[in-house]
Amino acid sequence: MEKKTFVTKEQLDMIIKEYPTPFHLYDEKGLRENVKSLQEAFAWNPGYKEYFAVKANPNPFLIRILKECGCGCDCSSYTELMLSEAVGAVGRDIMFSSNATPAEEYKLAERLGAIINLDDITHIDFLERTIGYIPETISCRYNPGGLFKISNDIMDNPGDAKYGMTTEQLFEAFKTLKAKGAKEFGIHAFLASNTVTNEYYPMLAKVLFEMAVKLQKETGAHISFINLSGGIGIPYKPEQEPNDIKAIGAGVKKVYEEVLVPAGMGDVAIYTELGRFVTGPYGCLVTTAIHEKHTHKEYIGCDACAVNLMRPAMYGAYHHITVMGKENEPCSHMYDVTGSLCENNDKFAIDRMLPKIQIGDVLVIHDTGAHGFSMGYNYNGKLRSAEILLKEDKTAQLIRRAEEPKDYFATFDCFDIGKKLVEQSRHL
Ligand SMILES: *Cc1c(COP(=O)(O)O)cnc(C)c1O
């Protein structure tokens, strides 16, 4: 499918007049519509709820929009819990799916009334020691091990993943938790990431539903929800067929009716913790070409770099690039599109065929709405960019200012040398 930007050149030129590149831009309309179609796909399940994976995009303005749409928050750290509380998502609006969890995080999750999803059997004791009791509602994360395959395709390798409990541990955990006073149980598993196939969720659902029936039979625990977690992907590449969320919802419904309903478990709520699928396509990184270089290869140097979007450097991930205003020009030039880090993996694209780029051209790097800004860092002393929301009425709202040197030096401010740097930054 042809990949189009959600913003026009004219809109973008206006925004750039006010806010210099680089910045991440988000599409409120697209985001709201997408959440609506997700909820419609699972509307057959009365208890359905999406807990947005906050790590994918921890901007409180976006999380507030998602909260308005009826989403909860899937958190896995102290500050993610704080963000969730700040937008009014507390109690059963929070799924706390963490691992190697520090005690302070369990304490905050408990204070906020979050549903706690235990990553390991040893966390039963750890949680009880930390907060003083076992909550009545509790969830356990499952990892069946082995390879997760669809037909003959290996989707992912759960046997090599640090998350979740084994089958035996899951049974034991349920029995222990029940003995310690838990009354409502959930199970959770995340077995494959960024799947671009309608079959992943139904297959995962089958594994979890069959496990739920066995668990309920053998332990007597009442299972009230099953959390299919994240993992529904997006088509980063133009040739990829996007997931059909309607078909995915219908596929899960079919397995629900085949496995849970006959076992008398037709009251189980389905939860999801999607991150990438929810916000991924509704964000882009906007950057300006500021240099061209002709050596052994042709390079375009941008004002954004890997600190603004790490996925290409970290995973070799493909992100589509549109040269604004040149959408209909032939892709006649092969470029490496780079940032300015002193790291040769700081390339948004390698050997990419694009229209001829001139200095000053604005490039839109697609699909940065999830795991984009949020994976940012400060290598080379580079600063994080602004984030801007393109609202439904097409006006632009700054939803995070760009970092300044004073932010970079802020954690030195208790030292003399740091005070000097912060003071100098103040005068910039
Ligand atoms: C990262 C993560 C998600 C979201 O994953 P996506 O691939 O963005 O859908 C959901 N749940 C947990 C526990 C995660 O760690």
55 in contact with ligand 1, CB cutoff 6 A: yes
Q: From ligand 1's centre to the CA of 154, what distance in Å?
A: 19
Residue ID of nearest Cα to ligand 1 atom 5: 230
Cβ neighbors of 159 (< 8 A, separation 6 or more) are 145, 146, 147
What is the rounded distance in angstroms from the CA atom of residue 167 to the CA atom of residue 317?
33
Does pLDDT of 1 surpass 90?
Answer: no
By most ligand atoms within 8 Å of CB, the mutation choice from 97, 105, 156, 204 for ligand 1 is: 97
What is the rounded distance in angstroms from the CA atom of residue 347 to the CA atom of residue 337?
6
Ligand 1 atom closest to the CA of 280, numbered from 1: 8
What's residue 419's pLDDT?
Answer: 87
What's residue 427's pLDDT?
Answer: 81
pLDDT, the chain, mean: 97
Which domains are present in the chain? 28-280 (3.20.20.10), 281-412 (2.40.37.10)
Closest by Cα among 259, 272, 263 to 189: 272
**How far is residue 187 CA from its own chain's centroid?**
20
**Tokens 């940065």, residue located:** 368
Ligand 1 atom closest to the CA of 194, numbered from 1: 7
Does pLDDT of 407 surpass 90?
Answer: yes
Phi–psi pair at 284, nearest 5 degrees:
-145, 155
Q: What percent of the chain has pLDDT over 90?
A: 93
Over residues 278-322, the pLDDT tens digits come to 999 999 999 999 999 999 999 999 999 999 999 999 999 999 999
Q: From ligand 1's centre to the CA of 162, what distance in Å?
A: 14
3-class secondary structure, 138: strand
Over residues 116-169, the pLDDT tens digits come to 999 999 999 999 999 999 999 999 999 999 999 887 788 889 999 999 999 999
Residue ID of nearest Cα to ligand 1 atom 3: 230
What's residue 145's pLDDT?
Answer: 93
Does pLDDT of 385 surpass 90?
Answer: yes
Q: From ligand 1's centre to the CA of 231, what distance in Å?
A: 6
Over residues 39-54, the pLDDT tens digits come to 999 999 999 999 999 9
What's residue 426's pLDDT?
Answer: 83
What is the rounded distance in angstroms from the CA atom of residue 128 to the CA atom of residue 107?
11
190 in contact with ligand 1, CB cutoff 6 A: yes
51 in contact with ligand 1, CB cutoff 6 A: no
Q: Which two tokens stand for residue 249?
A: 């919802």
Range 358-367 average pLDDT = 98
Phi–psi pair at 122, nearest 5 degrees:
-65, -15
Range 385-394 average pLDDT = 97
By most ligand atoms within 8 Å of CB, the mutation choice from 35, 57, 66, 74 for ligand 1 is: 74
Bridge pairing between strands 283-294 and 362-365:
antiparallel
303 in contact with ligand 1, CB cutoff 6 A: no
275 in contact with ligand 1, CB cutoff 6 A: yes
What is the rounded distance in angstroms from the CA atom of residue 281 to the CA atom of residue 25?
11
- Angle at which helices 78-86 and 60-68 cross, to 10°: 60
What is the rounded distance in angstroms from the CA atom of residue 123 to the CA atom of residue 155?
28
What's residue 301's pLDDT?
Answer: 98
Ligand 1 atom closest to the CA of 277, numbered from 1: 9
What's residue 201's pLDDT?
Answer: 97
Range 217-231 average pLDDT = 97
Range 390-413 average pLDDT = 95
Over residues 250-268, the pLDDT tens digits come to 999 999 999 999 999 999 9
What's residue 149's pLDDT?
Answer: 87
Does pLDDT of 172 surpass 90?
Answer: yes
What is the rounded distance in angstroms from the CA atom of residue 312 to the CA atom of residue 306?
8
What is the rounded distance in angstroms from the CA atom of residue 365 to the CA atom of residue 289?
12
Ligand 1 atom closest to the CA of 274, numbered from 1: 9
